[in-house]
Amino acid sequence: MKHIEGHFDARGLKIDLIVSRFNDFISSHLLEGALDCLRRHGARDEDLTVYRVPGSFEIPYLAARLADRKPKPDAIICLGAVIRGSTDHYQYVAEGMARGIQRVAMDSGVPVILGVLTTDTIEQAIERAGTKSGNKGADAALAAIEMATLFRQVSAKA
């Protein structure tokens, strides 16, 4: 039986990070966590590119563009925060963003990691951006490393 899985060595991986400016007081902490994690696992700054977009809804558009480039990035990490308000807008943004990111990943063959928080309150977002619940940006970076290294192994076997 064969057992293939990714590992956590980011050396040589080209990773793009897309970060929403909306709710920047949260997304900036997610970015810090992601970059710290990538560097701790061997990524070099010259292999990392950070892109800023207006809001989380715009993330999939840029992700699609980046995934179509030649050469393709090894992974794309999407970071932001969608916090529920008093209208239905939250629902439309969160669903559209998540579906868009999933579609880019499925259509492109590039691991596109959903590191966008969707929370009911600002307090929940703060907890997930580096306090009580850890930093979900760092978690997204770990997932990107693991998936990128797994994809490399699968491609090498093909």
**CATH code, domain carrying 45:** 3.40.50.960
Question: Residue 158 has what pLDDT?
Answer: 62
**Residue 90 covered by a domain:** yes
Catalytic member of 3, 7, 29, 89: 89
The yes-or-no answer on residue 89 being catalytic is yes
Are residues 120 and 86 in contact, defined by beta-carbon separation less than 8 angstroms? Answer: no
Report the pLDDT value the prediction gives residue 109, as an integer from 0 to 100. 95
Burial 57-90 (b: 16+ CB within 10 A, else e): bbbbebbbebbeeeeebbbbbbbbbbbbeeeeeb
- Domain housing 92: 15-149
Q: Which residues of the chain have pLDDT under 70?
A: 157-158
pLDDT number for residue 133? 85
The pTM for the full model equals 0.97
Question: Is 103 inside any structural domain?
Answer: yes
Amino acid 23: pLDDT: 97
- Please tell me the predicted confidence (pLDDT) of residue 78: 98
Overall number of domains in the chain = 1
pLDDT score at 139: 98
